Amino acid sequence: MRRFFSGLRPAVARALTALVVVGVGLLAYRAYAWPGVALAAGGAVMWVLLHMTRMMVVLKRTAQRPVGCVGSAVMMHARLERGQTLLQLLALAGSLGQRVDDSHSNSAQREQYRWTDSSQATVLCTLEHGKLTHWELLRG
């Protein structure tokens, strides 16, 4: 659902997601009464479980590698897209990013992470409100 509302502000996206879930519940009730609501609720629970499972698999894989290391910074840089979440970045890099202290930024919603490969090439990613907004490749 978030992919459909990714261009919107987080609060608006959450509100629209809630409206869609309630709307599906109402349609299910109208079509099949309470068994339809149970089916819709089961679908919603399955959707949440799928996302939790994906998150746990990504975090399990990233915990096995050193923080801030990536196989190829150039390949990671080539696959980055505006709007990706931190979880998508972790899956792409295969490791946790090294948090960069950005003392110049006064925004609490802005985060920077760095990944470095064996040739000392570095990818620096900036996330605002949990979404990737800027990235750069620094060759060492």
Assign 3-class secondary structure to 6-73. CCCCHHHHHHHHHHHHHHHHHHHHHHHHHHHHHHHHHHHHHHHHHHHHHHHHHHHHHCCCCCCECCCH
Percent of the chain topping pLDDT 70 = 89
> CB neighbours of 55 closer than 8 A, spacing ≥ 6?
87
Higher pLDDT, residue 101 or 127: 127
Task: Give pLDDT, residue 14.
Answer: 84
**28-39 per-position pLDDT tens digit:** 999 999 999 999
Phi, psi of 6 (to 5 degrees): -70, -25
The chain-wide mean pLDDT, for the chain, equals: 89
Q: Domain 66-138 has what CATH class?
A: alpha beta
- Which part of the chain has CATH 3.30.1450.10? 66-138
What pTM was computed for the model?
0.76
- pLDDT, tens digit (0-9, with 9 covering 90-100), for 17-67: 889 989 999 999 999 999 999 999 999 999 999 999 999 999 999 999 999
